[in-house]
Amino acid sequence: IIPELFFNGYREVVLDEICVNLIVLAEHEIPYQQLLTLAQGYFPPGDTNEDKSFKELILLKMEYLITNKILFVVE
């Protein structure tokens, strides 16, 4: 449940386990590459194709979290 500032209410956003883990990992400000490295620990080791799929999955989940205003990116 995400509080809305301008609409005086709340908005529900569905989160899967990967999203929840990314939120926990990003609780403290860390670089994206470090977040990828830490998140990789939640998955079994794989080959190069799976590594590419893993990065695409994490990017997709990050975009979802950012779009829903759950995670914020700073420079």
The mean predicted confidence, pLDDT, of the chain is 85
On the question of pLDDT at 58 being above 70, the answer is yes
pTM: 0.79
Q: How many residues does the chain have?
A: 75
pLDDT level of residue 41 (50, 70, 90 thresholds): confident
Give dist(CA 61, CA 75) in Å, integer.
19
Closest CA to 42 of 15, 70, 19: 19
pLDDT level of residue 63 (50, 70, 90 thresholds): very high
At 52 the pLDDT is 86
